[in-house]
Amino acid sequence: MTYFFQFLFIALLASMSYLIAMRFKGIIATIRLSQPIQLSDQPAERWKRVFLLAFGQKKMFQKPFVGLMHFLIYIGFVLINAEILEIILDGILGTHRLFAPFLGSLYPLLLNFFELLAGGVFIACLVFFARRGIFKVQRLQPEKHSELKGFPIQDAYTILIIECVLMAALWTMNAADAILQSRAVEHYYEVGSFIVSRNLIPFLNAYSTETLYVMERVAWWFHIAGILGFALYVTYSKHLHIFFAFPAAYYSSLKSSAYIPSLSTVTHEVKLMLGQSVSGEAAPTSLRFGAKDVMDLNWKNLLDAYSCTECGRCTDQCPANQTGKLLSPRKIMMDTRDRLEEVGVILSKNKGEFVDDGQSLLDKISGEELRACTTCQACVEACPMELSPLNIILELRRYQIMEMSDAPAAWNSMFSNIETNQAPWKFNPSDRMNWTKS
């Protein structure tokens, strides 16, 4: 019988690992379609960012209470998962609490600590539930922000529920285990009861040893299968930030948020027009100016889209959104991710080749949204991970203006004024010094 469960466990572990690996492979394949950008300079500064923004969650603590709640879930997630190593080894070897004899008195200490962390996760999830559902924090409401309607809001609640259920499974497992130990059931190594789960013992004590055994085993399987299932679910979810926050922080822009990089294809053409030397420079290979679809964006833009956890701090701070305009920086990130998921499906159906489906990112994002941006960088500043919706907006604007010639008449006049009068208004350039006279 034990061999059967060991076999079942290895099969579960292997198949879930395979599915998760395939998902990551698919995600990376879509990111690989993107345009290059150099973001490997100043490694020391970048590691500092990883420690401050990702590990230290510096920007999350700008809202201290929410920051603390988020930190509880994060620290619980990281540390409780250390226990997974034992669970996996137990599952493969058919053992029970493999580490207990080796760790001695440290073992119950660690488990007490994990149970408390699980309590922190549980409480923080309830708080987040309340913030969404009871206190109705504006930026999290689908009624206020239509981009959250449907899957995104379901996703948000699903994550909170799964996390609570997983923690409950952990406690149930430990409580049943403690009773089985006290009844000296074979395999149940004497490690004692633990700080949170011992409160469940009175409720479970009435059950027979057989029932408790089944309960402990079911909770154990539920816990590990839940974690593996959750890890797979996360790759489809906004919760993917638990993995991608780290590379996103490492590769975040070290330049001013107001800096827009030059489009090298344009530089080449402008130099030719101005009669400047282009010798030694390769003629541009890309024929598209700006971005129409995700593969026209750079890989950091795409990594950003996968890293976004839809918290809406960007949209909350966006002056266009605050004044009722169509633009929502969060929606820009979500649309980019949605398009990436579509592209991922195309890739997997066509042996890794992208086949034009007649769709693009610009089918999801309208000109009106793009034109509403004041480039004030409040979205970038607000993002706890320094993701940049602004970068994506500006690349789409480039396509909109240069490839589609889709500009309001007032902008076209401004362009021609700059060209002919050297100022955005229709003044005579020879009057530029008139202010010195009066």
Partner 1 sequence: MVLNIRTMADYLAKGQMPEYLFWVGCAGSFDDRQKKVTRAFCEILQKAEISYAILGTEESCTGDPARRTGNEFLFQMQAMTNIEVLNMYQVKKIVTACPHCFNTLKNEYPSLGGTYDVIHHTELLAQLLKEGKIEIEEEREEIAFHDSCYLGRGNGIYEAPREIISELQKDLKELKSCRTKGLCCGAGGAQVFKEPEPGAMDVQVKRTEEIIESGVKKVAIACPFCMVMIQDGLNKTGHDKDIQVVDLAELVQKAMK
Cβ closest to partner 1, residue 23 vs residue 331: 331
Q: Select the span of 21-29, 193-201, 299-307, 373-381 touching partner 1 (CB under 8 A).
A: 373-381
Q: Select the span of 73-81, 168-176, 187-195, 317-325 touching partner 1 (CB under 8 A).
A: 317-325
Answer yes or no whether residue 220 interacts with partner 1 by CB under 8 A. Answer: no
Answer yes or no whether residue 146 interacts with partner 1 by CB under 8 A. Answer: no
Whole-number Å distance between alpha carbons of 379 and 326: 15
Backbone angles phi, psi at 324, to 5 degrees: 80, 15
Answer yes or no whether residue 134 interacts with partner 1 by CB under 8 A. Answer: no
Q: Name the DSSP letter for residue 54.
A: I
| Residue 334 contacts residue 374 (beta carbons within 8 Å) | no
Q: How many residues bind partner 1 (CB under 8 A)?
A: 69
Task: From 57, 196, 69, 61, select the one nearest 129 (Cα to Cα).
Answer: 69
Choose which of 8, 10, 106, 270 interacts with partner 1 (CB under 8 A).
270
Shortest Å, Cβ 418 to partner 1: 5
Q: Select the span of 7-15, 36-44, 95-103, 390-398 touching partner 1 (CB under 8 A).
A: 390-398
- 220-229: b (≥16 Cβ within 10 Å) or e: bbbbbebbbb
Shortest Å, Cβ 388 to partner 1: 12
Choose which of 289, 332, 338, 388 interacts with partner 1 (CB under 8 A).
289
Shortest Å, Cβ 372 to partner 1: 4
Answer yes or no whether residue 342 interacts with partner 1 by CB under 8 A. Answer: no
Whose tokens are 């959104």? That residue is 321
Query: Distances in Å between the alpha carbon of 291 and those of 193, 336, 355?
Result: 59, 11, 17
Query: Distances in Å between the alpha carbon of 44 and those of 121, 199, 251, 287?
Result: 32, 47, 12, 36
Q: Select the span of 65-73, 93-101, 343-351, 396-404 touching partner 1 (CB under 8 A).
A: 396-404
Q: Which two tokens stand for residue 177?
A: 């285990």
- Other CB atoms within 10 A of residue 180 CB: 20
Q: Residue 122, exposed/middle/buried by CB under 10 A (0-12, 13-18, 19+)?
A: buried
Query: Distances in Å between the alpha carbon of 376 and those of 10, 53, 99, 334?
Result: 52, 22, 54, 20
Of 227-266, which residues contact partner 1 (CB under 8 A)? 255-263, 266
Answer yes or no whether residue 407 interacts with partner 1 by CB under 8 A. Answer: yes
Residues of this chain that bind partner 1 (CB under 8 A): 255-263, 266-267, 269-271, 273-274, 276, 289-290, 317, 319-320, 322-327, 368, 371-378, 380-381, 394, 396-402, 407-408, 410-411, 414-415, 418-419, 422-425, 427, 429-436, 438
